[in-house]
Amino acid sequence: MSCDIIKDLYGIYKDGCASNESKEIIKHHLKHCEDCRRFYRDVPSKNKMTNYHLNGDYALLAKRIKRRRTFITAAIASGFVILSAWAIAETLDKK
């Protein structure tokens, strides 16, 4: 998962709006990425999400979140397909 995506998810993560799947992805990334850990620690409480609310630009926020969710879902689905293909290939090799 790219650092940009992890940083984009900061708002929904801190607001407790992230799905369990997203939370796990973020936690896993933070464990291994010093840069994002610092970002999550140092970003003030008035984050991007709050700014969107202040501007009343809910449509843009919803669009961004939807795009990220779609990307994450696609990434996970792709991983699953690759793993499945590998497992089938392994099974066929053994026959």
Binding stretches for Zn ion (CB under 5 A) = 3, 33, 36
Residue 3 Cβ, how far from Zn ion at the closest point, in Å? Answer: 3
Q: Looking at the chain, how many residues does it have?
A: 95
CB closer to Zn ion, 2 vs 55? 2
The DSSP line for 41-81 is HHS-SS-HHHHHHHHT-HHHHHHHHHHHHHHHHHHHHHHHH
Instruction: Residue 40: name the closest of 2, 11, 66 by CA.
Output: 11
CB closer to Zn ion, 6 vs 65? 6
Residue 66 Cβ, how far from Zn ion at the closest point, in Å? Answer: 22
CB closer to Zn ion, 33 vs 75? 33
The contacts of residue 30 (CB under 8 Å, 6+ apart) are: 6, 36, 37, 40
Residue 39 Cβ, how far from Zn ion at the closest point, in Å? Answer: 8
CB closer to Zn ion, 38 vs 53? 38
Residue 1 Cβ, how far from Zn ion at the closest point, in Å? Answer: 8
